[in-house]
Amino acid sequence: MVLSVGTGYLFSVGATFFFEGQQFYEAASVLLVFILLGHWLEMRARAGASAAIRALLNLAPPKAIVVRDGKEIEVATADVVLGDIVVLRPGNKLPVDGEVIEGESTIDESMLTGESMPVTKKVGDAVIGATINKSGTLRYRSTKVGADTALAQIVKLVQEAQNSKAPAQLLADRASQWLVLAAIVVGLATFVVWFWWLGQPLLFALTLTITVFVIACPDALGLATPMAVMVGTGLGASNGILFKNAAALEEATKLNVIVFDKTGTLTMGQPKVVETVPAPGVSPDEVLQIAAAVDQGSDHPLAVAIVERAKGLEIPKVSGFLNIEGKGASAVIGGDQVFLGNRRLMDEQKIDLLALGEKAEALKGEGRTVIHVARSGNLLGLIAIADAPRPTAVGTIKKLHEQGVRVAMLTGDNAGTAKRIAGILGIDIVLADVLPGQKAEKIKELQGQGLKVGMVGDGVNDAPALTQADVGFAIGAGTDVAIESADIVLMKSDPYDVVGAMTLSRATLRKMHQNLWWAVGYNVVAFPLAAGVFYPFLLSPEIAALAMSGSSALVAVNALLLKRTRLEGIRPAAASTAASAAHEQPTGAPA
């Protein structure tokens, strides 16, 4: 740009004051107008690509009510300090992260975690800034403010990803440098050939030289990948998929094996009652009623699973509750002695399992925990408990298979349990009996077979494996260590978002390639056209400026079209915006 406008302007100054010749003032001015128009269109496109960051920033409320010197006062959210007591009323957005110290309420965390159901919060529970208080009044102590809040960290991740360079961008940058050098060489060669060799007038030769300088501006090449990265990472953020850098976006397209840590990713990470087997003449509800009566009030994971399954049933009163360490529990219901526990407890109490003994062994062989329920010396039935698969796990694996990606499961469970779950979900590779410290080694073994491996995990012991993998996916509800070690964070804690992340990565890479091919193709055609190779068909500098600006605008618009594309597991930008609007603060609610 400096070469083209500068050459025309300096020649015009010389023609005005020092020698006779054609003046280019008008052409240089029009050229600048077209160049500035192109940059304005480019900036508009960039602003559209950054809409995701603005939407995230708008989630935080501008004001907060805090208690200072015993009085409730309203301050700007930026003025809330660590340790402040924040007062939260129904309909308010939480200004900062903290810990509840008074009251109980339900919080809508969907805008950050994707969880559609409001979460009950009581004293001692952590709360996240930018979420919405739905019902009760809370007071909580701020534990993270300013740049340390969960929302601020998410915004930081998105900004860093949008500003990072994909490997393809490094190639484009080098190509741009060579293109500038080629423009100078071709421009000077054009002048030499037309003026000295072919003997054309100075004005003609200089016009063609300026045209070459203008049309060869590497704007389109420089925009080709950054615009696609900005749109892709922004679209991911609005769908709860956070790419930490552009390299992760590109690497995800190369994966041919995805390894899932079983607990908490493919499964719920919480025991659930999966089957109730009553004895002859006994109903399943009766088995659950008796078991829930004994277990109510216990915080043991198996007890919690039974009580949850019995919700809605009438639970009888119990007395004489006794915990039997390592075996189960006993209690008295309606004057009858009830025992609830494992096979050892039944054997000690000399309770005949009858035909259910074989069924109990079969359930254990499938990797399920079996609870025996007995009353007055007779077995009422069995309750099978297992870590249930996530609702979207089967769909996730099916879609990954459709994309040509194999799926592996990593677990510390025995081979029998692991194969049962793998059979239900349709998993290709089972890595069972793996100790926490061996997970990274298993990833390395797969990589040693020439495979590109992605790892999905949520726990502290997954961190080394997430780091070792070519691309690490952290479940958002997991630990900070896992999230720190991963390349992509799935905020909704839904394994199906792995499909969304990979689909979005591939779509973004396609846009990069389309833009790069267009930018390269444009310059291949533009150079000879501008240099007068197709004489008498010639381009003026003004038309060249329009072509250059149009090329840059086309690249930007093509990248923005990604926001309107329907992708598996990804909502288009318009739908994401509408969903976000649905969670906005209710009209009239105080901030």
My answer on whether 92 and 179 are in the same domain is no
CA geometry: angle 425, 426, 431, nearest 5 deg: 90
Do residues 351 and 377 lie in contact, with contact meaning Cβ atoms separated by under 8 Å? yes
Backbone CA torsion sign across 434, 439, 441, 446:
positive
My answer on whether 16 and 80 are in the same domain is no
CA distance 456 to 476: 11
pTM over 0.75: no
Q: Return the structure tokens found at 159.
A: 């900004």
Burial grade of 152 (CB within 10 A; 0-12, 13-18, 19 or more) = buried
Instruction: Tell me which residue of 549, 527, 546, 538 sits closest to 203, measured CA to CA.
Output: 538
Active site residue 299: no
Last residue in a domain, options 342, 360, 388? 388
Task: List the helix and strand counts (H, then E) for the chain.
Answer: 21, 22
List the chain pLDDT tens, one digit each, 591 residues: 566 566 666 766 776 777 665 555 655 665 566 556 555 655 665 555 455 556 666 777 888 999 988 888 989 988 999 999 999 888 888 899 999 999 888 888 766 554 555 778 889 888 888 888 887 888 999 998 888 887 777 677 666 655 555 565 566 566 666 767 777 787 788 888 877 887 777 777 777 777 777 776 666 666 777 778 888 888 887 788 888 877 888 888 899 999 998 777 787 767 888 899 999 989 999 999 999 999 887 777 788 889 999 998 999 998 888 888 778 889 999 889 999 998 889 999 888 888 888 888 888 877 788 899 999 989 999 999 887 778 888 888 999 999 899 999 988 777 777 787 788 888 999 988 887 678 888 998 999 999 999 999 876 567 788 888 889 888 865 445 555 677 888 887 788 889 989 999 898 888 888 887 887 777 777 778 777 777 877 776 667 767 777 777 788 788 888 887 777 766 665 444 444 444 444 333 333
- What is the share, in percent, of the chain residues with pLDDT greater than 90? 15
Summarize pLDDT for 253-311 with one digit per residue, the tens: 899 999 998 777 787 767 888 899 999 989 999 999 999 999 887 777 788 889 999 99
Instruction: Tell me which residue of 448, 491, 447 sits closest to 471, measured CA to CA.
Output: 447
User: What backbone torsions phi and psi does residue 280 show, to the nearest 5 degrees?
Assistant: -55, 130
Burial grade of 467 (CB within 10 A; 0-12, 13-18, 19 or more) = middle
Domain with 137, as residue range(s), is 61-148
CA distance 397 to 150: 30
Within 8 A by CB and 6+ apart from 18, the residues are none
CA distance 523 to 291: 76
Decide: helix, strand or coil at residue 50: coil
Q: List, in sequence order, the alpha helices (H) in 81-166.
A: 110-113, 150-163
Within 8 A by CB and 6+ apart from 460, the residues are 479, 481, 482
- Looking up tokens 């900004």 gives 159
My answer on whether 36 and 90 are in the same domain is no
My answer on whether 346 and 282 are in the same domain is yes
Residue 449 is given by DSSP the state: T
Q: Return the structure tokens found at 472.
A: 């690490």
Model pLDDT, residue 331: 92
Q: Return the structure tokens found at 108.
A: 């809508």
In a domain, 303, yes or no: yes
My answer on whether 71 and 206 are in the same domain is no
Instruction: Tell me which residue of 205, 214, 220 sits closest to 33, measured CA to CA.
Output: 214
My answer on whether 75 and 124 are in the same domain is yes
Model pLDDT, residue 101: 93
Strand partners for 242:
489
My answer on whether 295 and 380 are in the same domain is yes
CATH code assigned at 118: 2.70.150.10
Decide: helix, strand or coil at residue 301: helix
Last residue in a domain, options 388, 407, 427? 388
CA distance 56 to 239: 11
Maximum C-alpha span of the chain: 119
Do residues 65 and 73 lie in contact, with contact meaning Cβ atoms separated by under 8 Å? yes
- Looking up tokens 């075996």 gives 327
* Radius of gyration over every alpha carbon of the chain, rounded to an integer in angstroms: 33
My answer on whether 165 and 135 are in the same domain is no
- The single residue of 84, 261, 470, 487 carrying the catalytic annotation is 261
End-to-end CA distance of the chain: 50
Q: Are strands 471-475 and 453-457 parallel, antiparallel or unpaired?
A: parallel
CATH code assigned at 374: 3.40.1110.10
- Looking up tokens 């004293």 gives 123
**Single-letter amino acid code for the residue at 44:** R
In a domain, 254, yes or no: no
In a domain, 519, yes or no: yes
Q: Are strands 328-333 and 319-324 parallel, antiparallel or unpaired?
A: antiparallel
CA distance 151 to 58: 10
Summarize pLDDT for 408-443 with one digit per residue, the tens: 998 877 777 778 778 888 899 998 888 767 888 899
In a domain, 477, yes or no: no
Q: List, in sequence order, the alpha helices (H) in 192-300.
A: 202-215, 219-238, 246-251, 284-295
As for how many domains the chain has, the answer is 3
Q: Return the structure tokens found at 498.
A: 């792995």
Secondary structure, 3-state, 313-358: CCCCCCEEEEEECCCEEEEEECCEEEEEECHHHHHHCCCCCCCHHH
Last residue in a domain, options 354, 388, 422? 388
My answer on whether 28 and 165 are in the same domain is yes
In a domain, 235, yes or no: no
Q: What is the dihedral of CA 343, 264, 566, 220, to 10 degrees?
A: -160
Within 8 A by CB and 6+ apart from 264, the residues are 458, 459, 475, 477, 478
Q: Return the structure tokens found at 328.
A: 């189960």
My answer on whether 199 and 279 are in the same domain is no
My answer on whether 295 and 374 are in the same domain is yes
In a domain, 418, yes or no: no
Model pLDDT, residue 571: 62
My answer on whether 41 and 173 are in the same domain is yes
In a domain, 84, yes or no: yes
Do residues 301 and 270 lie in contact, with contact meaning Cβ atoms separated by under 8 Å? yes
Model pLDDT, residue 241: 85
Q: Return the structure tokens found at 7.
A: 């050459």
User: What backbone torsions phi and psi does residue 276 show, to the nearest 5 degrees?
Assistant: -120, 125
Do residues 495 and 478 lie in contact, with contact meaning Cβ atoms separated by under 8 Å? no
In a domain, 523, yes or no: yes
